[in-house]
Structure 1
């Protein structure tokens, strides 16, 4: 039995425009091979983050494909160029291949939670992530449900897409909250009080950028109007230790 895969599958990982006339045929799987334990859809190498050996095929019509090519069967196992994950199979005749070259795919490691622009609430966890990623910790001491300036800082800076893009590759974000309307668990409240005392916090919002290893504050900051870029630029100006946090506008 043979299955005809819709044209869209043949367009996977194609840099040039895909011809709508092309159709990919995938031979039926061998039931005996399946029973014996065929290879899973994703290789263990991809899951483990190891380097994956693949081929880059350029077809006579200009298409560029990435995967593992079985020349005897005329079948290409398509792989995602960034992750190495299997994307399916398509039939490619040898006479339609203009050139091939070997390549290696190194799956991009998934960043730990807290190193991707998301806010943590546990200081110990933030230090662990910051140490692993060699980044400073940006701590926002806030009164989220009663402090007007805290609400403004969150709305005008922290909630903005531009700030999130800036933060995700530069700092570990930690929010230490002191709400009044929603009491915190006793253990969390005690930990937050202790951290505020450690860094001499007496008002809100107070922002500290700290070195995770030494637990020393590199910069004390607060609310400043003007949006994310101005806030970041003023925070890092004149602080050599924060040179690596300089604002770089992302291209749209």
Structure 2
């Protein structure tokens, strides 16, 4: 039981804070002079999305980078009824997808300025390791 509790505790610490409202994230990014990392995910059906979340987004190294440089936004599109989002959130995510992911790619990750302009995009979980993801992010954030 202690092992399970410890795992859940450390997972929650290192998972970062992900906004679900893009406008709130933009405001925070402007206030803190940070970039926005927007991730489109199918959390209960997209195997690469799940793998990317577990291997990258839930890691301590990513959390450290994100806390210093990024405001995180997740636009999730679950399929299972038990994981359905509130109607308002579904509409919000669809609006984001119309603007940033009209082709419906999953996972699809964008690095944005606080004004919403695109700096870089990543289509799929194309990196072979967490280190490559973090290295690519660092290079893009601080060229």
Structure 1 counterpart of 2:51? 152
CA contact 1:136–1:172 (8 Å) conserved in 2 = yes
Structure 1 counterpart of 2:118? 217
Structure 2 unmatched runs, 5+: 1-15
Which structure's residues are more often strand, by fraction? 1
Q: State the superposition RMSD in angstroms.
A: 1.8
Within-5 A mapping of 1:5-44: none
Which structure's residues are more often helix, by fraction? 2
Structure 1 counterpart of 2:63? 164
Q: What is the rounded CA distance, in whole Å, between the counterparts of 1:126 and 1:162 in structure 2? A: 21
Structure 2 counterpart of 1:176? 75
- Choose the corresponding residue for 1:143, options 39, 42, 45: 42
Q: What is the rounded CA distance, in whole Å, between the counterparts of 1:227 and 1:165 in structure 2? A: 17
Deviations 1:174-194 (A, max 9, x none): 111000112221111111001
- Choose the corresponding residue for 1:233, options 115, 135, 138: 135
Structure 1 unmatched runs, 5+: 1-116, 245-252
- Choose the corresponding residue for 1:208, options 110, 118, 124: 110
Moved over 2 A (4+): 224-229, 234-237
Number of residue pairs matched by the alignment: 125
1:122 aligns with 2:21: yes
Other structure's SS at 1:212 match: coil
CA drift at 1:232 = 2.3
CA drift at 1:167 = 1.0
Q: What is the rounded CA distance, in whole Å, between the counterparts of 2:101 and 2:49 in structure 1? A: 18
1:186 aligns with 2:87: yes
* Bigger relative CO (Cα 8 Å, ≥ 6 apart): 2
CA contact 1:219–1:235 (8 Å) conserved in 2 = no
Deviations 1:174-222 (A, max 9, x none): 1110001122211111110010110134210000111112x11101013
Larger radius of gyration: 1
Other structure's SS at 2:68 match: coil
Other structure's SS at 2:118 match: strand
Deviations 1:121-145 (A, max 9, x none): 1111101110100001001110001
Other structure's SS at 1:168 match: helix
